[in-house]
Chain A
Amino acid sequence: MGGLLAFRFKISIYLYKVLLMNLDAAFSALADPTRRAILARLAKGEATVNELAEPFEMTQPAISQHLKVLEEAGLVTRRVDGTKRPRRLAKAGVEAMDQWLAMLRKALEKNYDRLDQVLAGMQHKERKTR
């Protein structure tokens, strides 16, 4: 029991709220296969909108729209290079998600390690009364 609640212990409520807002945007952004493909491409190195549009057989405005969603979710940032605006992965956004998942796992592991001890105690008591 407890599920998603567990990881929330670790951070203050305020921090949690901020994190959740960002994560919600990040998860929404990741729900789209094209945007995941864009992220996978950017994981290999920065790229311009043109370079990103090529393999996806999509128009530039369509790619730009996807990039906008990714930027707003904090997953992608842009750099100014003359007239070009190459995009790259934003480390923080990706790390926040990893953190979220890791915290859930860690808190559950902690809970169940504790439950192991509690169960051992229960078994011990039962054997005594038998």
Chain B
Amino acid sequence: MSKLTMKTEGDKHIIVTRHFNAPPEAVYRAHLDPKIIQQWMLGPEGWTMPVCINEARPGGKIRYEWANAKGGGFYLTGEFLELEPPNRIAHVERMHLPDPTPDNHVETRFEADGDGTLMTMRMTLPEEKTRAAMLATGMERGMEASYARLDGML
């Protein structure tokens, strides 16, 4: 029900799906409202997001800054491409470490699913090499033993 799935589509995309027990309007808002984003988009325990800028309009800027108690930190910038409330967000993002990583194109869809929402996030991986290789690793099968996975590649 609320289990996350992760799979590849063609050789260009990784697709993540997740069900939420709230209507699309709420899930959409939770992805755009900085005050709400700061409550959940935090990765593993121990990190906070002191800065969250989200100009929710086409061309609008995205900037998230994370920090931990040990003084570590890094940030992400991006731009919104298209917004179709409450069903679709298309944006591009990159990490700064501090050198920027290649652009990651992300499309996030929210569809009514019973009383809740089915979120489908599609990430477009920037490099063909990387994309093909990620496909090869069969990541949708989860964490099997490394060697069993290699066996399954053929």
A-side interface residues toward B, CB under 8 Å?
1-10, 12-13, 16-17, 24, 26-31, 36-37, 39-40, 43-44, 89, 91, 94-95, 97-98, 101-102, 104-112, 114-120, 122-123
Contacts and interface: CB of A to CB of B under 8 A. Distances in A.
B76 interface: yes
A9 B129 contact: no
Contact of B40 (A31, A95, A114, A123): A114
B77 to A, nearest CB: 11
Nearest to B2: A116
A51 B75 CA distance: 49
Contact of A1 (B14, B106, B125, B130): B106
Interface of B: 2, 4, 6, 14, 16, 18, 20-22, 26-27, 29-31, 36-37, 39-45, 47, 66, 72, 74, 76, 89, 91, 93, 95, 97, 104, 106, 108, 121, 123, 125, 128-130, 132-134, 136-137, 139, 142-143, 146-147, 149-151, 153-154
Nearest to A105: B6
Given A1-B108, A89-B150, 19 more contacts: A1-B41, A3-B104, A4-B125, A7-B43, A9-B44, A27-B129, A31-B136, A39-B153, A44-B151, A94-B150, A102-B143, A107-B44, A110-B44, A110-B45, A115-B30, A116-B2, A119-B21, A119-B26, A122-B29
Contacts of A27: 129-130, 133-134
A91 B146 contact: yes
Contacts of A40: 150-151, 153-154
A5 B21 CA distance: 25
Contacts of A118: 30, 36, 39-40
Contacts of A24: 130
Contact of A114 (B31, B42, B154): B42
B154 A37 contact: yes
Contacts of B125: 4
Q: Which 9 residue pairs are nearest across A and B when measured between Cβ atoms?
A: A9-B43, A27-B133, A119-B22, A114-B40, A30-B133, A94-B146, A31-B132, A43-B150, A3-B123
A43 B136 contact: no
> Which of B89, B108, B136, B142 has the most CB atoms of chain A within a 10 A radius of its CB?
B136
B34 to A, nearest CB: 12
Contacts of B27: 115, 119
8 contacts: A5-B93, A8-B97, A40-B153, A43-B147, A102-B143, A107-B44, A119-B30, A120-B21
Contact of B123 (A4, A17, A110): A4
A36 to B, nearest CB: 5
